[in-house]
């Protein structure tokens, strides 16, 4: 308590006493004990009121015990069942839950993981992928500022995501792996990896690369076979030994017919092999007879050009060339789409050529754009000339309906740099991204599309797209989201097909562990997106003729149905709109492949390294009898007594108000009883 406050309290006490004595010892005729009692009660009332006015503050200290967390993350993938460890895992979880001493010393939190991490102690061991790196990323967001030793109950075999071996540099907790499996080494041949392009072109040959590995001590002979149905289209003998444990085989296959062709790659198994599932890998190639060529025309150097080329060519059906205006004019017939990057004085002939060939185009403007010329070369939009620049952040228009646009968290993307001033359109247009300035969205497009005279065009009013691609990688550890966004824009602009009221997007084939998601959009007769229709997909297995009907779920400006988990095979489907005579049909193929069945052993070395790097101990599932005792007796995980200190003002102390009420009531009663009122 401050000296000034203490001084005020002393003065308040003196004043309160003086007032009480003045009223009952000097002015009042009442004498004896009653006078002193009334004086004391009046003093209490005055002094308490003065204290409330001064409102001194006191420190209130509260002590409490804080137990450390025990985080238990359990592998819920199919490999646990395949390695015959599911029952052992369930028994261990039950022991952790039932141990009173453990629960008394720790706040135990259970998680399960496959491709994603979720807080749950319910295990089914049916996840198709396992992403251990994501486990540490998510847990570090929650537990890095607490004492939280972590049990990782897993076989250590990761099929998805970044390498988890070095995640302890980010996750600052002791990690105790419980290893599901053993260290026994089995003789095994395996197709470790198969690399092939998703698309090939008719009457061409496409390359295939197969990486086969061997685990064993003796010299063995086998054969690599590539087959289509019952026909073998390629074969090669392979020899492995203790020193030669892998071979890379490169070859080409012909693309003779349009459509999806399915192939089976197999390393012929040995007589004593325990796991022959990993000897086989199916793959497919879609043969197409055309390729979209995109010209990126610019007379300046800018990193946007390379970013656009990379994004466009991430789809093997497309090719992008960065050319000057003169180079484009010499080869203009080779392209189906033109990206006009920051038009300058040299672009007059380019626009005439584009109009002559009736090509669709994307116009990207920026700080080097000659807007005076661009306003003259076309009549679809006009830019106010201010000779000033501005930075615009993007904001997604959720009602854009021409094609499906995924939200890439655009509001967190870096701004594009463009001309300051209003852009006015003279034709109907649709906005994909709005401009945002200093956090305020304005009713002006940053990216817009429009159709006029059977031609399609997009306008991007700013440079700096390469920063968006980099930001997408920072957000997702992959360029795919941004590349898909550009890919959809290119796909829309590279065709002049008439719009239909029902659009369905899907792939021709999916690998066995892929997420199988189909998206759709439905428009009313004015081609406005309808967000309240009943949309279903009727899916039929071509071999078993089993049929199922599933509903689409509205997601932003599209409908989506998740078909993940389908058995391998060929499927036909029909998407129908209830109460409308509109439907669309298609076919898709699910390849037979289960990545979780590719392992014979637990990854003991990596899990033990994980424990060592985090100053912890690893355990095999059969040897966990000391696990609980080790955790309880580890001095690093002792319960800690902590205290909190709060500054509490006297005005919050309700008992003082009660004291004032009681003293006033008692004084009134005594005075009333003695006839002084």
pLDDT of residue 468: 95
Q: Select the CATH number that applies to the domain covering 188-288 from these four: 3.30.70.120, 2.60.40.10, 3.40.50.300, 2.40.160.10.
A: 2.60.40.10
Mean pLDDT of the chain: 88
Return the CATH fold of 502-595.
Immunoglobulin-like (2.60.40)
Residues 6+ apart with CB under 8 A from 147: 68, 69, 173, 636, 637, 640
Compute the average pLDDT of residues 264-280.
Answer: 89
Q: How far apart are CA 54 and CA 49, in angstroms?
A: 9
Q: Is the pLDDT of residue 653 over 80?
A: no
Tens-place pLDDT, residues 312-344: 999 888 899 999 999 999 999 989 999 999 999
pLDDT of residue 250: 94
Place 121 in a pLDDT band, splitting at 50, 70 and 90.
confident
pLDDT of residue 23: 75
Place 565 in a pLDDT band, splitting at 50, 70 and 90.
confident
Helix ranges (DSSP H) in 31-99: 33-54, 78-82, 86-98
Q: How far apart are CA 345 and CA 374, in angstroms?
A: 9
pLDDT of residue 496: 67
Q: Is the pLDDT of residue 447 over 90?
A: yes
Compute the average pLDDT of residues 293-297.
Answer: 94
pLDDT of residue 28: 64
In DSSP notation, 281-347 reads EEEEEEEES--EEEEEE-SS--HHHHHHHHHHHTSTTEEEEEE-HHHHHHHGGG-SEEEEES--GGG
Q: How far apart are CA 257 and CA 541, in angstroms?
A: 23
Q: What percent of the chain has pLDDT over 90?
A: 45
Structure-model confidence comparison of residues 297 and 477, the more confident one: 297
Highest mean pLDDT: which range of 82-91, 299-308, 605-614, 637-646: 299-308
Q: Which residues of 580-589 are buried (b: 16+ CB within 10 A; e: fewer)?
A: eeeebeeebb
pLDDT of residue 552: 93
Q: Is the pLDDT of residue 29 over 70?
A: no
Q: How far apart are CA 153 and CA 14, in angstroms?
A: 71
**Lowest mean pLDDT segment, chosen from 71-80, 151-160, 586-595:** 586-595
Structure-model confidence comparison of residues 533 and 670, the more confident one: 533
Q: Is the pLDDT of residue 59 over 90?
A: no
pLDDT of residue 112: 94
Q: What percent of the chain has pLDDT over 70?
A: 97
- C-alpha pair distances (Å), 403 with each of 460, 465, 487, 494, 527: 17, 20, 11, 13, 11
Across 184-219, the runs of DSSP E, i.e. the strands, are 188-196, 199-201, 205-215
Structure-model confidence comparison of residues 346 and 642, the more confident one: 346
Compute the average pLDDT of residues 279-289.
Answer: 88
Q: How far apart are CA 347 and CA 296, in angstroms?
A: 13
Tens-place pLDDT, residues 359-406: 999 999 999 999 999 999 999 999 999 889 999 999 999 888 788 888
**Lowest mean pLDDT segment, chosen from 49-63, 109-123, 562-576, 614-628:** 49-63
pLDDT of residue 497: 64
Place 507 in a pLDDT band, splitting at 50, 70 and 90.
confident
Structure-model confidence comparison of residues 616 and 288, the more confident one: 616
pLDDT of residue 676: 67
**Lowest mean pLDDT segment, chosen from 80-89, 417-426, 509-518, 642-651:** 642-651
pLDDT of residue 498: 65
Structure-model confidence comparison of residues 676 and 273, the more confident one: 273
Tokens of 287: 């043969």
At the top level of CATH, the class of 68-184+601-638 is alpha beta
Compute the average pLDDT of residues 39-62.
Answer: 81
pLDDT of residue 1: 58
Q: Are 516 and 539 in contact (CB under 8 A)?
A: no
Q: Is the pLDDT of residue 217 over 90?
A: no
pLDDT of residue 320: 94
> Domain 292-493, what architecture?
3-Layer(aba) Sandwich (3.40)
């Amino acid at each position: 308590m401050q000296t000034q406050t203490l001084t005020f309290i002393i003065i308040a006490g003196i004043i309160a006493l003086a007032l009480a004595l003045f009223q009952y010892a000097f002015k009042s005729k009442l004498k004896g004990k009653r006078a002193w009692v009334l004086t004391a009660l009046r003093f209490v009332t005055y002094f308490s009121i003065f204290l409330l006015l001064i409102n001194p503050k006191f420190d209130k200290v509260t002590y409490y015990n804080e137990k450390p967390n025990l985080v238990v993350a359990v592998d819920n993938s199919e490999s646990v069942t395949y390695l015959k460890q599911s029952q052992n895992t369930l028994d261990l979880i039950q022991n952790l839950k039932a141990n009173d001493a453990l629960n008394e010393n720790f706040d135990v939190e259970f998680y399960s993981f496959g491709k994603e991490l979720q807080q749950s102690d319910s295990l089914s061991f049916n996840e198709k992928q396992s992403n251990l790196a994501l486990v540490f990323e998510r847990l570090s967001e929650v537990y890095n500022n607490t004492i939280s030793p972590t049990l990782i109950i897993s076989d250590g075999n990761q099929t998805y995501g970044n390498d988890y071996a070095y995640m302890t540099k980010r996750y600052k907790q002791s990690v105790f792996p419980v290893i599901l499996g053993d260290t026994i080494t089995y003789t095994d041949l395996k197709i470790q990896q198969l690399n092939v392009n998703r698309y090939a072109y008719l009457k061409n040959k496409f390359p295939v690369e197969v990486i086969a590995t061997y685990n064993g001590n003796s010299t063995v002979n086998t054969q690599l076979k590539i087959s289509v149905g019952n026909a073998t289209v390629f074969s090669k003998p392979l020899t492995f030994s203790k020193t030669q444990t892998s071979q890379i085989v490169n070859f080409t296959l012909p693309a003779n017919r349009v459509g999806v062709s399915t192939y089976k790659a197999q390393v012929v198994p040995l007589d004593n092999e325990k796991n022959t599932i990993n000897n086989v890998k199916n793959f497919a190639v879609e043969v197409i007879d055309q390729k979209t060529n995109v010209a990126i025309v610019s007379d300046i150097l800018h990193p946007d050009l390379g970013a656009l080329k990379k994004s466009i060519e991430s789809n093997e059906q497309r090719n992008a060339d960065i050319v000057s205006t003169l180079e484009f004019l010499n080869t203009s017939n080779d392209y189906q789409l033109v990206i006009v990057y920051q038009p300058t004085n040299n672009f007059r002939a380019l626009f005439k050529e584009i109009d002559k060939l009736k090509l669709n185009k994307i116009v990207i403007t920026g700080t080097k754009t000659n807007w005076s010329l661009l306003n003259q070369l076309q009549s679809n939009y006009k830019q106010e000339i201010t000779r000033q620049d501005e930075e615009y952040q993007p904001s997604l228009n959720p009602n854009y309906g021409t094609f499906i646009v995924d939200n890439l968290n655009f509001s967190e993307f870096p701004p594009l740099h463009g001309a300051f001033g209003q852009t006015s359109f003279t034709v109907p247009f649709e906005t994909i991204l709005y401009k945002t300035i200093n956090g305020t969205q304005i009713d002006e497009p940053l990216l817009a599309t429009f159709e006029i005279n059977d031609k399609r065009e997009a306008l991007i009013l700013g440079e700096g797209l390469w920063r968006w691609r980099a930001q997408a990688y920072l957000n997702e550890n992959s360029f795919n989201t941004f590349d898909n966004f550009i890919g959809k824009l290119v796909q829309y602009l590279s065709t002049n097909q008439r719009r239909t009221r029902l659009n369905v997007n899907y792939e021709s084939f999916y690998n066995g562990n892929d997420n199988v998601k189909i998206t759709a959009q439905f428009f009313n007769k004015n081609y406005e997106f309808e967000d309240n229709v009943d949309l279903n997909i009727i899916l039929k297995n071509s071999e078993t003729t089993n049929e199922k009907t599933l509903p689409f779920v509205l997601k932003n400006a599209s409908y989506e149905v998740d078909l993940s988990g389908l058995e391998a095979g060929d499927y036909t489907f029909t998407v129908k709109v209830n109460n409308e005579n509109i439907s669309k049909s298609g076919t898709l193929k699910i390849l037979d492949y289960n990545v979780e069945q590719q392992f014979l052993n637990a990854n003991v070395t990596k899990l033990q390294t994980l424990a060592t790097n985090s100053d912890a101990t690893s355990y095999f599932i059969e040897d966990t009898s000391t696990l609980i005792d080790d955790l309880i007796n580890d001095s690093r995980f002792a319960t800690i007594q902590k205290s909190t200190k709060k500054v509490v003002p006297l005005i919050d102390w309700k008992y003082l108000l009660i004291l004032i009420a009681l003293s006033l009531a008692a004084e009134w009663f005594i005075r009333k009883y003695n006839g002084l009122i």
